[in-house]
Amino acid sequence: MNQMNFALAGLLLLSACNGQPAQPAAEPPLAGASIGGPFVLTDQTGKTVRDTDFAGQYRIVYFGYTFCPDVCPVDVQNIGAGLKALERSDPAIAAKITPIFITVDPERDTVPVVGQFVAAFHPRMVGLTGSPQAIAKVAKEFAIFYEKRQAPGAAEYLVDHSRQAYLMDPDGKPLALLPADVGGVEVAAEIKRWVT
């Protein structure tokens, strides 16, 4: 057996030892991105909450507003459905995750309003609001665009905003975007790819 064949046989034996060929570990798509950062906001019970309060937990972070006429309720419902699906199929994984909704409309999304909104989607979902300045700061940390838009003569305004659900690791670093605009099954599947 020449040296090349000997080396090849050795590699095959090594890969056979663990029952499958050696494969490089997949890197999360948002690894190394500058997304996320410190914040001080108020939760749905009126308690002051800091980003450090979630240390050691995976987080799903979604920005939206409760008066949103279309996308926000659907996305948040899919996030809640995905987490509920995981609670049934993989309770150990689900227990490691905290879903967080952060408003981009603090003027209307008071503590009770945010509380009622998140309670409709998942019992462990945390709803966060704060001063316009605090919301602007956290939105910037998470690369979220938002802007009020009011049609002439309209009684109410809408808020145009970025639409993404971030999966963050236990250190608050971004891992991946969740397909909250698709469905709960897809959200659960993507979480299982990255939560260990």
Q: How many domains is the chain built from? A: 1
Whether 11 is covered by a domain: the verdict is no
Whether 89 is covered by a domain: the verdict is yes
Print the domain residue range for 101.
Answer: 34-194
Helix/strand/coil for 131? coil
Whether 18 is covered by a domain: the verdict is no
What is the rounded CA–CA span in Å between residue 154 and residue 196?
Answer: 48
Tokens matching residue 139: 């939105």
Whether 21 is covered by a domain: the verdict is no
Report the range of poorest mean pLDDT among 13-17, 118-122, 135-139. 13-17
Sheet (strand 165-168) strand order: 48-50, 40-43, 126-129, 97-103, 58-64, 165-168, 174-178
Long-range CB contacts for residues 116-119, cutoff 8 Å, separation at least 24: 116/66, 117/66, 117/76, 118/44, 118/76, 119/44
Whether 171 is covered by a domain: the verdict is yes
Q: How confident is the model at residue 154 (pLDDT cuts 50, 70, 90)?
A: confident
Tokens matching residue 186: 């897809």
Report the range of poorest mean pLDDT among 54-68, 98-112, 147-161. 147-161
Given a cut of 70, whether residue 85 has pLDDT beyond it is yes
What is the rounded CA–CA span in Å between residue 41 and residue 68?
Answer: 21
pLDDT of 142 = 97
Whether 15 is covered by a domain: the verdict is no
pLDDT of 25 = 55
What is the rounded CA–CA span in Å between residue 100 and residue 83?
Answer: 12
Whether 10 is covered by a domain: the verdict is no
pTM of this structure: 0.86
Helix runs in the chain, H state only: 3-17, 71-89, 91-94, 111-119, 132-141, 184-194
What is the rounded CA–CA span in Å between residue 97 and residue 37?
Answer: 18
Whether 13 is covered by a domain: the verdict is no
Q: What is the CATH number of the domain that holds 167?
A: 3.40.30.10
Closest to 174 (Cα-Cα) out of 59, 75, 72: 59
Distances in whole angstroms, Cα of residue 8 to Cα of each of 3, 99, 127, 130: 9, 48, 56, 61
* Of 49 and 8, more confident: 49
What percent of the chain is predicted at pLDDT more than 70? 87
